[in-house]
Amino acid sequence: MNSLRARLLAATAVLLLAFIVLTGVALETAVSERADQAEHDRLQGLSYALLGSAEITDDGGFKLAPRVLPESDLTRPDSGLYALVLDEDGETVWRSPSLLDPIELDTVPAVGEWQFMRVYPEQGTLITLSFGFRWVTDAGKDYRYTLVVAEDASTFVKQMQRFRGVLWALLSASALVLLVVELLILRWGLAPLRRLARNLATLQAHEKRRIEGRYPDEIQPLVSNLNTMLSNDQARLTRYRNALGDLAHSLKTPMAVLRGLAEDERLEENQRRPLRNQLARMNDILDYQLQKAAAAGKRSLTASIAIAPIAEKLGRALTKVYAESGTRFRVHIAPEVKAPIDEGDLTELLGTLMDNAAKYGNGEVDVRAETRDGDLHLQIDDNGQGFGDGSTERLLERGVRADTSREGQGLGLAVAAEIVRSYTGEITLTHCEQGGARVAIVLPAG
């Protein structure tokens, strides 16, 4: 149950079910009671009418002429409406012509009391109303009787069953309609959240770092905060990099002066050499630490950028730098290849590796990139001598160079490895088919 919609829907369904059942039961009870009451009243009226027409003989006989019976049904045999009178001993003293078999009651009401109950003879159900009464004759004799009026309940039961069927059918239908409406309400109500989720997802697929659009009041603060966070993040990184750049500038210009002094021929060679070496060391440390500090690394919600334009830009720039050797930089990257990586980091990574490839290669540098299962695969090949044997792991450590005959900072691969690590990626140094060096990088998605 990991979706808001499923949760709300489940909760609503349970609530709706409980409501429908309770409503159904309540309605059914109310209607059934009302029907019983009506039946009770009808039978009571009938009882009064019968009592009004009755005569008791002095010997306790009960007389009720069929023509004075208040309901014609009482005279028609087995009509469904019956009446009988029991004496004190439970013996039938009178019964309506309609009644063929006597009705047996388990209990009889006390004198002056009414007893409304259902009895279940062999067939069907009877609704009975009994009334206990005392009759004092003119001769002063006192008799105790019970009047029982009964009606066949089958019609009543059928009516109630029909009512119940209609009731539950209507309730179920309305429950279904309500559920569908609820579904629509949820769709509509949760639409802004879906839009936000979609925008967050596309944030990584597009080259922007901002969630666009206006959201409902409940979500807007979240969106605004996210946007502020994203822009602050970028601004902080830019400020940080500028500060590092200024630091580099303020340190490296004096170092350049000292480096120039190290060539001053008025100094002894044994004075110049340590000066050169120490300056080179300082420079290496400074470069490595500055590069490391300036790497943005993996961040959440980094916008995806296209790889090809950056590789091509670097290719153009490096073509100028390597014009003397005529090195050719070939970029084989489809325009749709994108990855969520900071532009500065990617420029640094590709620049360092393409420069390395040009420096140690033999005039040809090939850059490839593709995405497989969301992971970005980068590959930089040159046509030089390759990395040599067994030293590739050491090359990725800082400050180690395989080919010390060429000038350069010797930090390129270590810097690249540092950037790749900050994206929890992998960097592998191998050989390409033609024997030149190949640097293969995998940057995982997300």
Partner 1 sequence: MRALVIEDDVDLREQVCAQLRSDGFAVDATGEGEEGLFFACEYPIDIAIIDLGLPGPTGLDIIREVREAGLDYPILILTARSRWQDKVEGLETGADDYVVKPFQPEELTARIQALVRRSRGWAQPKLESGDIVLDTARQEVFVADEPVELTAYEYRVLEHLMLHAGEVVSKTALTEHIYEENAERDSNVIEVFVRRLRAKLDPEGARKPIETLRGRGYRLSRGLSSREADTAGSTGATDS
Binding site for partner 1 (CB under 8 A): 241, 245, 248-261, 263, 279, 283, 287, 290-291, 294, 313-314, 316-317, 320-321, 323-324, 343-344, 347-348, 350-352, 355, 407, 409
Nearer to partner 1, 313 or 398 (CB): 313
**CB closer to partner 1 out of 203 and 290:** 290
Both tokens of residue 423?
A: 């994206």
Nearer to partner 1, 282 or 432 (CB): 282
Q: Which of 241, 299 has the CB closer to partner 1?
A: 241
Number of other residues whose CB lies within 10 A of the CB of residue 11: 12
CB atoms within 10 A of CB 442: 17
Q: Which residue pairs from 128-131 have beta carbons closer than 8 angstroms and sit at least 24 positions apart in sequence? A: 128/43, 128/103, 129/40, 129/43, 129/44, 129/47, 130/105, 131/47, 131/51
CB of 433 to partner 1, least distance (A): 28
Nearer to partner 1, 213 or 274 (CB): 274
In the complex, least distance from residue 307 CB atom to partner 1, rounded to whole angstroms? 15
| Shortest Cβ 317–partner 1 spacing (Å) | 4
Name the minimum Å distance from CB 248 to partner 1: 5
The residue (of 104 and 407) whose beta carbon lies closer to partner 1 is 407
Q: Which residue number, 86 or 415, has a Cβ lying nearer to partner 1?
A: 415
Could you tell me the smallest distance in angstroms from the CB atom of residue 354 to partner 1?
A: 9
Residue partners of 105: CB distance under 8 A and separation at least 6: 86, 117, 119, 128, 130, 146, 148
Nearest distance, CB of residue 426 and partner 1, angstroms? 22
By CB atoms closer than 10 A (0-12, 13-18, 19+), residue 345 is buried
Smallest separation, CB 283 to partner 1 (Å): 6
The sign one gets for the Cα dihedral 15, 21, 24, 28 is negative
DSSP helix/strand/coil, 375: strand
Nearest approach, Cβ of residue 229 and partner 1 (Å): 24
The amino acid occupying position 181 is: V
**Long-range contacts formed by 5-10: CB under 8 A, 24+ apart:** 5/186, 5/187, 5/190, 8/182, 8/186, 9/179, 9/182, 9/183, 9/186
Q: Which two tokens mark 273?
A: 């050499």
**How near is the Cβ of 445 to partner 1 at its closest, in Å?**
24
Phi, psi of 211 (to 5 degrees): -90, 120
Closer residue to partner 1 (CB): 182 or 418: 418
To partner 1, the closest distance from the beta carbon of 221 in angstroms equals 35
Give all strands (DSSP E) within 290-436, no chain letters: 305-306, 328-333, 338-339, 364-372, 375-382, 426-431
Nearer of residues 172 and 362 to partner 1, judged by Cβ:
362
Longest dimension (CA), the chain: 163
137 vs 289, beta carbon nearer partner 1? 289
Q: What is the CA radius of gyration of the chain?
A: 50
- Type of residue numbered 74: L
- 310 Cβ partners below 8 Å, 6+ apart? 343, 346, 347, 350
